[in-house]
Structure formats: C-alpha cells, structure tokens
Amino acid sequence: MVVNSRYIALKICLTVIEQGRSLSQALAEGLAQFDDRRERAFAQNLVFGTLRWQERLEAIRSHLLKKPLKAKDEDVNQLILLGLYQILYMDTPEHAAVSETVNLTKSLKKPWARGLINGVLRSFLREKDAICAEVDKKPAYRFAHPQWFTKAMRKAYPEHWEQILAANNEPAPLTLRVNPRVQTREAFLASLADNEIDASAHPKAPFGVVLTQSQDVTHLPSYDDGGFSVQDAAAQQAGTLLAPQAGEHILDACAAPGGKTTHLLELSDDQANVFALEKEPERMERLSENLFRLDLHADLDVGDAAQPDDWWNGAAFDKILLDAPCSATGIIRRHPDIKWHRTPEDIDALVTTQAAILKALWPLLKPGGRLLYATCSVLPDENRNQMSAFLQATDDAREIPIEADWGLTIEGAPGRQILPGLDGMDGFYYCLIEKISSE
Ligand SMILES: C[S@@+](CC[C@H](N)C(=O)[O-])C[C@H]1O[C@@H](n2cnc3c(N)ncnc32)[C@H](O)[C@@H]1O
C-alpha cells in the first residue's frame, strides 16, 4: 500500500494535539499503515520533531500569520508547523519541503489553504534568521516548552535548567537491561557484536546495554529466551537500590508494566517473594506477559495502593517499592506529548495522590524495613518536597542517603535526582527511607 508519510504524520500530530490522545497510542495506530521501513521512519521523525518543537514552531507561525486560524482549521495550522519543521530541522531540500506540504491541502480537501501555506512558508524562507532571532529571545520558545514548566525548571535548577530543556528535545537512546539469570552483560555484548549490532555497556548501570541505533528488539539475540528487557538506565537503579534478597517479602506498589518488578525478581534469582499491585487491569495484563516471557513469578493483584484494606493480608513487608504515579516530566524526550498534556493542576492532583499512597503504605512496612520512593519526574513537589514533608510528618522514618556516582543531591533535601540526558539517562528521582525499629 502506498501511503503519504507526511499526511500520516499530520494525522498523528492532530490526534495528539486536537483529541488529546497519547503519542504512543497515536503512533502505534498511524505507523501500522506503512510497509516501507524508510517511509515509516521518516513519518516518525516528522511527528516527534514537530511535537518536540511545537511551542517554537507556533511562535514562528504567529509571526508569519498574525491572525490565528479558526479552531476547525487546526489541520491547516499543523500542516504549516510540519512544513516549518522540515525547513528548520530536516535535510529535506527547501523547495520539496514547501511543495510537498502545500500539496497536502488536496488530501485535506481544503484547496483554499494552498496559497496561504505557500505564502507563509515562502515568507519564512526569506526572513528565517530575523524571525528565529526574535522568537528565541523567550526561553519557553527557544527551548520549546510550556511557560509554566520553563519557569518551574529555572526555579528548581538554576544551574541546569537550560541543559534539562535542551535534553528534553533530544532523541533518547535505546537502553536494555541484561537478565543475569540468562547471560552476563559481556556475553550479551559479544552476541550483539557477532550480529553486527553496535552496542556498549552503560557506564552507570551494571546491567545496562545501550544500542547505537534504535531497532526492533524482538529481533535481537536472546529475546525469545528472556535474555534482556528494554529499560532506561535511570529506571534500572531501582533494583540495585532496593537490593532484593531471596525470601524477602517485597511490595511493588505501582507495578505495571513490570519493568522494576522483573528486575527485582531477576536480582534475587526469582527467589524474592514479590507482591505486585497495579490499579489498571489492562496494564496488569502487560505485567503478566512480561513475567511469563522472563519466566519469573510474583503474586499479582489489581487494586489501589492507597486502600490497603482492600488487598493486604496483614503480613508486613521487608521492602516496599513505590514507583509512584507522576507527571513523567523526566521522560519528555521519549514522550514529547507530555509537554501538552500536563498542566499545573495535574501536578497538584498527583502530589496529593503520591502523599496518600505513601501514608497508606508506611504501616505495611516491618520495623527496620526499607521503602524506595521513585518517580520519573523532575518537579520538586513530586520529589524532594514530597519526601521532605513525609519525613517531617513521620516520626519512625529516616532517610538512608543514596551514595552513587549518578544523579545529583540538593543540599538539605532528601533523595537523589537524575536530570534528563545526564549520563544518557531519563530524568528520575529516588529516595530511600527506613522504618526506625524501636528495639
Ligand atoms: C510509573 S508507573 C509504574 C512503572 C512500573 N513500576 C515499571 O517499572 O514498569 C505507575 C503505575 O502506577 C499505576 N497506579 C496509579 N495509581 C495507582 C494506585 N493508586 N494504586 C496502584 N497503582 C497505581 C499506574 O497505572 C501505572 O501503571
């Protein structure tokens, strides 16, 4: 089937921007229409790029077209952004970027937009440098992030905010986690080399392997034998920090799709007694499939971590992993749609949920037991402020400082923060706390 990659890219962007659907879902449906790998990759680049740079492209568009288009013509607006993205960021020759974009007005059945888009893109080619210089004066446009988030990063990380915003606009590496029950990292690297696949050991994650080129992992050696999983190096730190031991009773409170559950089990040679809880039944299905593929075993339950009365049998846990629901602002480079889908109000609601889950789970931990709080967020309210408040309000909780050669600590604040892009990792936060034993 011959499909127009620019048209499919436009449709995917519209699904995300207009309908508020997640990029992962929209991509999965949109890209399924391609037989040709190169066309598919081109469409994917176009979608990621246009969504990543949306805030900057919009600012440029509003310079060129003072009167905004009507809401019903958002497709024409997105088409202009797609054209601007190709001119600014892709190697497409400028004349092709303009003509191919203009031609799509036919597919949209909006022939009136042909002249308009042609005029806008050609004006941009003439005044590119001046317009970009003007737009880029504002950091939110220069780095293409929402105003509120740009402000929050400047405040939280006065020395790193530009680095964070820049890293959010870079493609993320494909990082794998070797399953030590099946093979060593060295053996896996050797088998990748035998298959002429470029890869290297991650410097900060003992089981991490970074592939130089993104690819379908189901075709890699040892996939069918459960030899590895896909997991960013930042997320791989959870298993090492919780250090699961055979026979320990461990709660993984927000578990699906099981990236960390499976790591806890691999590290204990499937001997830890893991209870994995998840609120969403469909996501629990994915956890089940992952356990099956890796031949690992855990007790599973669908339930709300903030309501232990509904699922807890009264046996206290040695360790708890709370990989809390969060804004996912640490993984914007993988999911650029987070920039549009998250609002400051969402963050307030998430902070309340995280606090409620923490409070509800604390009594389930044995004296002397440890709880690891984790988020893939870079917002202090979900991270260091959340844990400061919990530690202050909880007499029998104390922090175990994380000594590590990754991430950074903030003076006077609990936990360790990984900033996106640092050592190639996703943005993540960890805080390890212990229940003080009265004996
Ligand atoms: C950050 S994700 C967990 C990722 C997972 N730990 C992993 O490593 O693959 C958070 C998960 O918590 C689930 N969740 C959200 N609120 C919850 C709640 N109140 N109780 C239990 N699970 C919840 C979400 O559905 C989501 O699957």
**Residue 132 a catalytic site member:** no
Centroid of ligand 1 to alpha carbon of 251 (angstroms): 13
> Which ligand 1 atom is at minimum distance from the Cα of 326?
1
DSSP string covering 153-218 = HHHH-TTTHHHHHHHHTSPPPEEEEE-TTT--HHHHHHHHHHTT--EEE-TT-TTEEEESS---GG
Residue 2 token pair? 């011959």
> Which ligand 1 atom is at minimum distance from the Cα of 235?
8
Q: How far is the C-alpha of 427 from the C-alpha of 409, rounded, in Å? A: 13
> Which ligand 1 atom is at minimum distance from the Cα of 357?
19
Centroid of ligand 1 to alpha carbon of 95 (angstroms): 47
> Ligand 1 atom 17: the closest Cα is on which residue?
279
Is 259 labelled as part of a ligand binding site?
yes
Residue 240 token pair? 């090492």
H and E: helices and strands count for the chain: 17, 12
Note the pLDDT of residue 439.
66
Residue among 22, 232, 254, 322 to mutate when testing ligand 1 (max atoms within 8 A of CB): 254
Is 254 labelled as part of a ligand binding site?
yes
Report the b/e string of 283-307 with b at 16+ CB within 10 A: bbeebbebbeebebebebebbbbbe
Q: How far is the C-alpha of 425 from the C-alpha of 407, rounded, in Å? A: 9
Residue among 177, 229, 231, 279 to mutate when testing ligand 1 (max atoms within 8 A of CB): 279
* Contact residues of ligand 1, CB 6 A cut-off: 235, 254-260, 277-280, 283, 304-306, 323, 325, 357
Of 424, 357, 433, 341, nearest in space to 171 by CA: 424
Residue 128's H or E segment, with its range, is: helix 113-135
Of 135, 126, 218, nearest in space to 174 by CA: 218
Of 437, 391, 382, 381, nearest in space to 414 by CA: 391
Note the pLDDT of residue 33.
87
User: What is the total residue count of the chain?
Assistant: 439
DSSP symbol at 427: P
Count of C-beta atoms within a 10 Å radius of residue 75? 21
Cα–Cα distances in angstroms (integers) from residue 24 to residues 44, 183, 304, in the given order: 11, 31, 25
Residue 279's H or E segment, with its range, is: none
Note the pLDDT of residue 182.
97
Give helix 113-135 / helix 54-64 axis angle, nearest 10°: 110
Write down the residue that tokens 């696949």 correspond to: 197
Note the pLDDT of residue 438.
78
Is 266 labelled as part of a ligand binding site?
no
- Going along the chain from its start, the domains and CATH numbers come out as 5-138 (1.10.940.10), 174-230 (3.30.70.1170), 233-435 (3.40.50.150)
> Which ligand 1 atom is at minimum distance from the Cα of 325?
10
Centroid of ligand 1 to alpha carbon of 252 (angstroms): 9
Choose, from 13, 132, 326, 376, the residue flagged as catalytic. Answer: 376
Note the pLDDT of residue 66.
82
Query: CB–CB of 46/9 below 8 Å?
Result: yes
> Ligand 1 atom 15: the closest Cα is on which residue?
325
Centroid of ligand 1 to alpha carbon of 326 (angstroms): 9
Query: CB–CB of 269/239 below 8 Å?
Result: no
Predicted confidence pLDDT, tens digits, the chain (439 residues) = 457 999 999 999 999 999 999 999 999 999 988 888 889 999 999 999 999 999 999 999 999 998 889 999 999 999 999 999 999 999 999 999 999 999 999 999 999 999 999 999 999 999 999 999 999 999 999 999 999 999 999 999 999 999 999 999 999 999 999 999 999 999 999 999 999 999 999 999 999 999 999 989 999 999 999 999 999 999 999 999 999 999 999 999 999 999 999 999 999 999 999 999 999 999 999 999 999 999 999 999 999 999 999 999 999 999 999 999 999 999 999 999 999 899 999 999 999 999 999 999 999 999 999 999 999 999 999 999 999 999 999 999 999 999 999 999 999 999 999 999 999 999 999 999 999 987 6
Centroid of ligand 1 to alpha carbon of 410 (angstroms): 26
